[in-house]
Structure formats: structure tokens, C-alpha cells
Amino acid sequence: MRVTETNAAVSGADPDNSGVPTAADAASADVSDAPRFSRPGKANKRAKETRIGLVRRARRMYRDMTVEFPGAHCELDFTTPLELAVATILSAQCTDVRVNMTTPALFAKYRGAADYAQANRAELEEYIRATGFYRNKANSLIGLGQELVERFDGELPGTLEELVTLPGIGRKTANVILGNAFGVPGITVDTHFGRLVRRWKWTAEEDPVKVEHAIGELIERKDWTMLSHRVIFHGRRVCHARKPACGACFLANECPSYGEGPTDPTEAAKLVKGPETEHLLELVGL
């Protein structure tokens, strides 16, 4: 599924001459060519990049990510907005795989906001114990259920401003819910997203909100949700934190950090992970 943000700057307009490309700039931003792959012979050394050059490179990289991961999605299992909110709360300091192993029984037991609001704390903790920090997470789930019942007739609201007032839901969680459950385009900055956009020199910002705004000025708004998924997929499968698979990366020719990981294709190929591995290696001729 998807991830989101409701008030990052919209690209394609520059009312105050801020340097954000205009619609005319975007139209000429070299986004129509078919994706290409060529493996750099050495680490990329770029001259100082202009603003429009950065926009064009970011959009080329995103276009290539659509070839890498055409089916990218939210890796948390859910069927309703509330289930996604619960799963996202449980995913803090826990893998999506573990959360997905935990939620079927949880969702069968707790079907609506009132069930969480009235939950027996000890029983709820046992259901979610495997996700870690289960006492704090139980507090959040019970509080979330109570707030939804009292303020929103048991339904999860569909705006960022309302979601962030609820227990256990910060800006990142709200963005995940909005993008995946409500279809609102946006950008969610998790650990993978933040480190990749900095590695790619799309931004130097560290604060997640500033990262959202910076990247929102590079990529068209309609693509924000899928951008988030595809960057996260790339970070989990190819561009690892300690040892990126540079020599087996489809984005290598556009990456200013090429060479931080092994550039030998055979060695790099061993680092590629996930169910898309065969496809990813085929893209780079391995």
C-alpha cells in the first residue's frame, strides 16, 4: 500500500521565485526517455548540480524505480483504516513481518474502536507482546480506541491535523494511514527514506518534516505516495545502510554516492535481497 503527507509543497509551481521548477520546467525535465542502465566505471564525480539539474536527476531516478518496483506497496497487512493505524503503531521498533504474524489474531479479536477502548489491558498485551514495547503499545491502542469513540464516532479521521491528535499517531504514522487507507498523495520519511534521499544528495536535511518538504519540491505530488514505497523498497532490497549493492544497482549511474558499497557486480549481487531479486539482477545484466 502507500505512504503520505498532506501539506508538503506542491511541485510544478513557483509563485515566489523560490527556485522550485515551474510547470514549464517540469515539462522539459527529461522524464520521457525510456529507463537506461549503465554501470559507472568509478564513483560518480558530479560538477556542482543546479536546482533544475537536481529535479531532473531525481525524476529520472524515480522513473527508474518504477521499473525496479512496479508493484511496490505498504508491507503491513490491513483491510480497514483502523487496522492500518493499529499495525503501524505496532511496527515501531518491530519488523513488518513480525507485525503481520501478530495482527491476524489481534484483528479477529478487536474489530472496532470500541473493542480497543474497552480492552482488558493484560489480555491485549498478550496479543501484541511479540512486537516489543507491548505495554506502551497497549496504552496507545486503548487510548486510540477511547479517543475515536469519544470524538469521532468510532471512525478514524482522514486528515493529518486530526490524526496527529490521537494517541500513538505521530506525523509519520498519520502519513502512512492517509496515503494507504485514504488515497491522499504524500511523502512519509522513515529510516530508509531519509538515509537514501541524503545518500542520493536530493537533500541534506535531517529533520523528517524538512525532508518531506524538500523532496515534495522535486517530485510531482501525484507520485509522492508511490515514491515513498519505492524508495523504501530500494533501501530494503538494494541500498543497505552499511553495505549498499552498488555494483548491482539499477540507479548506479545517477547516484553521487556510487562506490560506498562493492562495485564488483558479482560481489554486489550477493547483497540484493527480497522477492524481486531475480528481476533486479536482470535489469543490470546479471
Same structural domain, 135 and 266: no
The pLDDT assigned to 238 comes to 98
Full residue range of the structural domain in which residue 139 is found: 81-181
CA distance 126 to 134: 8
Same domain, 63 and 102: no
The CATH number of whichever domain residue 123 belongs to comes to 1.10.340.30
Residue 5 has pLDDT above 70, yes or no: no
What would the mean pLDDT of 50-68 be, rounded to a whole number? 97
DSSP code of 29? S
176 and 93, same structural domain? yes
pLDDT band at 161 (very low <50, low <70, confident <90, very high): very high
Of 133, 148, 181, which marks where a domain is finished? 181
Residues annotated as catalytic (active site), given as ranges:
172, 190
The DSSP annotation for 160-204 comes to HHHHTTSTT--HHHHHHHHHHHS--------HHHHHHHHHTTS--
Q: What is the CATH number of the domain that holds 53?
A: 1.10.1670.10
Within 10 A of 173 (CB to CB), how many other CB atoms are there? 22
Taking 50 as the threshold, does the pLDDT of residue 10 lie above it? Answer: no
pLDDT of 17: 35
Q: Does residue 191 have a pLDDT over 80?
A: yes
Q: Which residue among 142, 157, 181 closes a domain? A: 181
Please give the average per-residue pLDDT across 182-186, as a whole number: 89
Is the pLDDT confidence value at 12 over 50? no
R_g of the chain, CA atoms, integer Å: 20
Whether 154 is covered by a domain: the verdict is yes
* Total number of domains in the chain: 2
Give the span between the Cα atoms of 197 and 282, in whole angstroms.
24
Is there a domain that residue 64 lies in? yes
Residue 87, pLDDT above cutoff 90: yes
How open is the CA angle 91-96-98, to the nearest 5 degrees?
Answer: 90
Q: How confident is the model at residue 150 (pLDDT cuts 50, 70, 90)?
A: very high
Q: Identify the band that residue 185 occupies on the pLDDT scale cut at 50, 70 and 90.
A: confident
Of the pLDDT bands very low, low, confident and very high (cuts 50, 70, 90), residue 274 is very high
Answer yes or no: is pLDDT of 279 > 50. Answer: yes
Say if 16 falls within a structural domain.
no
Q: What is the mean pLDDT of the chain?
A: 87
For residues 260 and 120, give the distance between their C-alpha atoms in angstroms, rounded to a whole number: 50
- Together in a domain, 67 and 112: no
Candidate from 40-49, 110-119, 155-164, 238-247 with smallest mean pLDDT: 40-49
**Cα gap 156→144, rounded to integer Å:** 9
Give 96-146 pLDDT, tens digit per residue. 999 999 999 999 999 999 999 999 999 999 999 999 999 999 999 999 999
Which residue has better confidence, 43 or 184? Answer: 184
Express the helix, strand and coil content of the chain in percent, nearest 5 each. 50, 0, 45
Q: How confident is the model at residue 48 (pLDDT cuts 50, 70, 90)?
A: confident
Q: What is the mean pLDDT of residues 167-194?
A: 92
pLDDT score, position 151 = 97
pLDDT of residue 32: 45
Shared domain for 206 and 267, answered yes or no, is yes
Tell me, yes or no, whether 50 and 89 share the same domain.
no
pLDDT of residue 20: 41
Q: Do 177 and 269 belong to one domain?
A: no
Do 209 and 159 reside in the same domain of the chain?
A: no
pLDDT of residue 7: 35
Considering the domain architecture, whether residues 259 and 197 belong to the same structural domain is answered as yes
Look at residue 203 and tell me if it is in a domain. Answer: yes
